Amino acid sequence: MIDRVRLSEDGCPPVVDEDDESPTSSIFRLLPANSGPAAKMMVRAAVVVLVLAVAASWAAPKQACASCSALKWKTEATPGVHTEERATNEDGCATLSITCSGTTEAAQTFVEFNAGSLGGINDIGSQSIKLVCGADMAWHYQAEGSAINTISCSANHN
């Protein structure tokens, strides 16, 4: 294959011989026979721009909900143990699975959003919730819920 590539006399990047049957050489057959080196260079530049545009679209996040910032944790007087696991859902949005637990299975655990202004959840044992990054690039507990700025995990071991 190397012997079929030659440098162009007009100083353009290497081109494939005219008798080449590869798909990349066929684009030059669309040009009129008397096309000069400038036309071939413009076609090469257009192909490069197209390839770069496709590559850039693959690298860029598809939507704003793909990247929420780190969640801010508020420390409670009786802290529980929490874990976080980031993932991406089927819509391409970031998700954050959070587990809050006490030191025993009988502990009453509380997960509170925005220092209680958005409420929270509580139950006996471990609490597991999933937050979803919204189009506003903020975390949400429910699809229609308000933005969560802080979260806390506490446990009573009575």
Give the tens place of pLDDT for each residue, 43-72: 666 655 555 555 555 554 468 889 888 889
| Mean local confidence (pLDDT), 72-85 | 88
CA distances, 84 to each of 5, 77, 81, 114, 154 (Å): 55, 20, 11, 17, 15
Name the helix (H) or strand (E) containing 41.
helix 37-59
Beta carbons within 10 angstroms of residue 76's beta carbon = 13
pLDDT band at 139 (very low <50, low <70, confident <90, very high): very high
| Confidence check: pLDDT of 148 > 70 | yes
Q: pLDDT band for position 145 (50/70/90)?
A: confident
Full-model pTM: 0.57
